[in-house]
Amino acid sequence: MQELIKLWKEYELVPAGEGSQNGPTLEIRIPAEHVTATNRQVRGGQLWGTDVYTVDSDLVAVLMHTGYCRPTASLPPSGTQELRATIRVLPPQDCYISTLRNNVRSRAWGAAIGCSYRVERCCIVKKGGGIIDLEPCLTHSSTMEPTLAPVSVERTMTTRAAASNALRQQRFVREVTIQFNLCMEPWLKYSISAVADKGLKKSLFTSARLKKGEVLYVETHSRRYELSYNGEKVIKAAPAAQAQGAETGRIQTHNTSHVTNVERNAVDGETTVVDIFRWSHCKRNTPQKIMQSIGIPLPLEHIEVLEDNLEWDDISWSQTGAWIAGREYHLARAHFLSPN
């Protein structure tokens, strides 16, 4: 599309073109084999704007976004020789908006670059001669389908920086943030996704991992904490009236504790076994190998137990840290360790 920029610069030099919002037109011929959704520029999302597009937007992607042709992996009919698109060169826009149209998502851009263009006409040229005019479809705004699972396949996006270098176009670089713990060992940067339950299988829940023997270590910028499984405890069900009274009393006093489902749904005389967890402060920030040689979870002489009778509902995770028994801890790093 460098021809467009050259054409626009020449047009600006002509006195009659000064201040005009409509530049010259240009006819572009596209071989039929390139009109497919498997086109690298189409797959890479090289498309910025709606109706008016940036100069480096791929024309095939624009034709699909404007509805002149369908975004399918199949090629046009065998009798098609080429597509001819007439585009009008326009001045650069202050911003380009993003829309999902005809199952193609254009991208937004917030700065004026080079020049712009819009498609004014598109037709099919048949191999045996003859021309078929195509009509755009500018009103079909697609709806996004909801999903419960995140996309696990990475998608390569062609950016303007990459477009300036052929080598960069073929390279996908994952941006990784490396965190070092208080002993200068690589740990995960704290994220709620690191401690959130994975999927619907209970075996992938964080509480289940701790029960199996893993231990979660987290750090602030100066202190290290240990969260481990600490066995089970038996809860004797309170009479229904007593449980209700306890709940009312908590609400009236604005206590941060809550009545569990065990108390609400209990039948007189029943007992329930629940898992309990231990939250401790590590007295020394010890390297991982030494910690595993001492024993995971750490022995009592190496920790200061802050809470040893926690139910899982007493632990709340947030984007910035954790609430343990009503106290907030701002966390920077997290790491699971296993005794093995």
Count of CB atoms within 10 A of residue 53's CB?
Answer: 27
Whole-number Å distance between alpha carbons of 60 and 41: 8
Whole-number Å distance between alpha carbons of 77 and 35: 11
pLDDT in tens, 21-58: 678 888 999 998 888 888 777 777 788 999 999 998 99
Residue 310's closest CA among 203, 228, 187?
228
Beta strands in 32-178 (DSSP E): 49-50, 52-54, 80-90, 100-101, 104-105, 116-126, 131-133
Mean pLDDT, range 317-332, rounded to an integer? 90
pLDDT in tens, 242-282: 545 544 443 333 333 344 444 444 445 578 889 999 999 99
Mean pLDDT, range 316-340, rounded to an integer? 89
Structure tokens at 327: 């106290």
Residue with tokens 């390279």: 171
Q: Which residues pair with 48 in a beta bridge?
A: 107
Residue 245 confidence (pLDDT): 52
Per the CB < 8 A criterion, the answer to whether 23 and 10 are in contact is no
Task: State how far the alpha carbon of 264 is from the alpha carbons of 55, 155, 252, 255, 269, in Å.
Answer: 65, 48, 17, 17, 14
pLDDT in tens, 298-309: 999 999 999 999
pTM equals: 0.44
Structure tokens at 133: 């005019």
More confident residue, 189 or 17: 189
Residue with tokens 């467009």: 4
Task: State how far the alpha carbon of 195 is from the alpha carbons of 86, 155, 206, 258, in Å.
Answer: 55, 26, 6, 23
The fraction of the chain above a pLDDT of 70, given in percent, is 76
Q: Residues, the chain, total?
A: 340
Residue with tokens 């038996």: 234
Label residue 159 by pLDDT band (50, 70, 90): low
- Does the structure show a pLDDT above 80 at 109? yes
Whole-number Å distance between alpha carbons of 126 and 134: 13
pLDDT in tens, 168-206: 444 444 445 678 899 999 998 888 888 887 777 787 889
Whole-number Å distance between alpha carbons of 336 and 209: 9
What is the average pLDDT value for the chain, to the nearest integer?
79
Does the CA dihedral 132-137-143-149 come out positive or negative? positive
pLDDT in tens, 214-227: 999 999 999 999 99
CB contact burial 171-203 (16+ within 10 A = b; e otherwise): eeeeeeeeeebbeeeebbebeeebbeeeeeeee
Count of CB atoms within 10 A of residue 136's CB?
Answer: 17
